Amino acid sequence: MSSPPDSAIYIPDMQSLPSRVRTICCIGAGYVGGPTCSVIALKCPHIKVIIVDVNPLRIDAWNSEKLPVFEPGLDDVVRRCRGRNLFFSTDIDAGIREADLIFVSVNTPTKTSGVGKGFAADLHYVEACTRRIASVATSSKIIVEKSTVPCRTAASMRTILESNTSETEDGKQITFQILSNPEFLAEGTAIRDLYNPDRVLIGSLDTREGKMAAHALREVYENWVDGSKIYETGLWSSELSKLAANALLAQRISSINSLSAICEATGADVSEVAHACGLDARIGPKFLKASIGFGGSCFQKDILNLVYLSESLGLTEVAAYWHQVILMNEYQKSRFARKVVQTLFNTITMKKVAVLGFAFKKDTGDTREAPAITLCKSFRQEKAFISIYDPKVPREQILLDLTEPGVVDDFEAVRAQVTIAPSPEEACRDAEAVVICTEWDEFAQKAEDEWRGIYATMKKPAFVFDGRGVVDAQTLRKIGFRVHTVGKGPQIIDPIWA
């Protein structure tokens, strides 16, 4: 450390922040870090992008022909940049040292033990990255929170970084600026969303250095995003906006799903109700598709996080309000599972149930919080035989998802009860019911003849439970199927009109 000059207040000589970004390191090569930083590499050929991860298998896969994440368009992006200005590596320290700007894009799951268990975000991966950056950085850097984090996480990161800063070789103290830049991509449309985002949010401290750092990140995005779509806010607003956006989106789904229950009981049609409501420009048509419930790694986790934040702030009513969105989602899943059992004469024991689709939505192989898991687990409890077909989810992943952790011999029990079919036709052969859990195009576009073929191989009466509203119920009924579609009740003829 350089010694302070005599009789003067010691002000360390600070190494200024990089004003232009030349090298980016992304810590976390997952569903967000991989696609996001691959697109940055594609759109910014003058920037070197290094994506690092602790998981060597994941990095190997990113460096192979079979990427660890299935996402339409992603293969092409990676093929065009990998080895040019895009690199995947397990050498986290080298990546940190080389970068001017570091994205922290690690997982922030819900805590499973300790204080806040079941609600709060587990921030230990974020903290581990922050400490690693502090201990190995040899130059000033811009640190960007890409992970979804609770409001004020940047303050903790800042404290850790400032308590551990070192000096450059020529004795200048290195500095860090933290930005919040939450990611809004949805899986299945990630590349499209990244090419053409509704907005890019950059939160910074309201200081000269904070604004400079935000400007440097803005310049990266301006290589392909119109400047008017880049919205700069304070750090805490940016962090909270991410949780708020997911809570508002999920709330719409729980709202329409709650209405789907009323539709089923009255004979109203939820797709007509959604369309009628969505025609109001103030409501809008998107995100009003009734389903067996929302899944995915984000909605539930982020709302639980918001609930925990509200509780911690003593805002009990606010916490209860948002918690209801999750409770409604649980209700929707269990309501659908109950409907299957009730319709099949109150028992599915020893019956074969075909499940079409296991991913939490179409165009992804991701099964995190997939409603199909809840449904299949409840069919398992009813002692049904389950045959599952999904075009993208690997067999081992499905078996793992259906195994109860910590239950002795459950893996073998799952294998005895669950089969993974190579096609929808195979899954449905000899089944008593078909349950559609994911809206894959191949189910929606199945021709009448193909359904006829499926019908011929099933036990009779043959039932279809459409949890996504994707099949043409009338055509299927014509073939002979008995069809239940979420949000569509039996036509009740009121005696007045009969």
Task: Write out the residues near ligand UPG by the rule CB under 6 A.
Answer: 148, 183-187, 246, 249, 253, 287-289, 291, 294-296, 298-299, 360-361
Which of 410, 416, 436 has the alpha carbon at shortest distance from 424? Answer: 436
Partner from ligand NAD, ligand UPG, none contacting 305, C-beta within 5 to 8 A by type: none
CA end-to-end distance (rounded Å), the chain? 92
Cβ atoms of 296 and 312 within 8 Å: the answer is no
Q: Can you tell me which of 125, 336, 379, 389 binds ligand NAD, judged by CB under 6 A?
A: 125
CA 431, CA 50: separation in Å to the nearest integer?
A: 49
Q: Which positions from 250 through 309 interact with ligand NAD, judged by CB under 6 A?
A: 297-298
Judge if the upstream peptide bond of residue 461 is cis by omega within 30 degrees of 0: yes
Instruction: Give me the sign of the Cα torsion angle 345, 349, 354, 357.
Output: positive
Per the listing, tokens 């607003």 go with 237
298 among known catalytic residues:
yes
Mask of contacts with ligand NAD, 132-161, x by CB under 6 A? ---------------xx-------------
Tokens of 434: 């078909």
Tokens of 4: 């302070």
Side-chain-side CA neighbours of residue 135 (13 Å): 8
Q: How many residues line the site for ligand NAD (CB under 6 A)?
A: 26
CA 102, CA 141: separation in Å to the nearest integer?
A: 7
Partner from ligand NAD, ligand UPG, none contacting 42, C-beta within 5 to 8 A by type: none
Partner from ligand UPG, ligand NAD, none contacting 295, C-beta within 5 to 8 A by type: ligand UPG
| Other CB atoms within 10 A of residue 73 CB | 15
CA 394, CA 152: separation in Å to the nearest integer?
A: 38
CA 122, CA 112: separation in Å to the nearest integer?
A: 8
Tokens of 341: 């059992």
- Any binding-site annotation on 494? no
User: Least CB distance from residue 32 to ligand NAD, whole Å?
Assistant: 4
Which residue, 21 or 190, is less far from ligand UPG as judged by CB?
Answer: 190
CA 38, CA 24: separation in Å to the nearest integer?
A: 11
- Tell whether residue 108 is a contact of ligand NAD (CB under 6 A): yes
The active-site residue, picked from 25, 298, 376, 428, is 298
C-alpha dihedral (266, 271, 274, 279), degrees to nearest 10: -130
Strands 48-52 and 23-27: parallel
- Any binding-site annotation on 243? yes
Which of 250, 258, 321, 260 has the alpha carbon at shortest distance from 287? Answer: 250
User: Least CB distance from residue 190 to ligand NAD, whole Å?
Assistant: 7
- Any binding-site annotation on 109? yes
CA 387, CA 443: separation in Å to the nearest integer?
A: 16
Which residue, 125 or 443, is less far from ligand NAD as judged by CB?
Answer: 125
Which residue, 276 or 492, is less far from ligand UPG as judged by CB?
Answer: 276
Q: Which residues contact 11 (CB under 8 A, 6 or more apart)?
A: none
Rg of the chain on CA atoms, in Å: 26
Partner from ligand UPG, ligand NAD, none contacting 86, C-beta within 5 to 8 A by type: none
CA 396, CA 269: separation in Å to the nearest integer?
A: 38
User: Least CB distance from residue 261 to ligand NAD, whole Å?
Assistant: 28
Question: What's the one-letter identity of residue 254?
Answer: S
- Any binding-site annotation on 159? no
Which residue, 198 or 396, is less far from ligand UPG as judged by CB?
Answer: 198
- Any binding-site annotation on 110? yes
- Any binding-site annotation on 416? no
Q: Which positions from 19 through 58 interact with ligand NAD, judged by CB under 6 A?
A: 27-33, 53-55, 58
User: Least CB distance from residue 413 to ligand NAD, whole Å?
Assistant: 28
Q: Can you tell me which of 71, 187, 264, 432 binds ligand NAD, judged by CB under 6 A?
A: 187
Residue nearest to ligand NAD (CB): 30
- Any binding-site annotation on 190? no
- Tell whether residue 94 is a contact of ligand NAD (CB under 6 A): no
Active site residues: 298
Residues placed in the known binding site for substrate: 183-187, 242-246, 282, 289-295, 360-361, 468
In the complex, which residues of this chain contact ligand NAD (CB under 6 A)? 27-33, 53-55, 58, 92, 105-108, 125, 128-129, 147-148, 183, 185, 187, 297-298
State the binding site for NAD(+).
28-33, 53, 58, 106-110, 147-148, 187, 298-301, 368
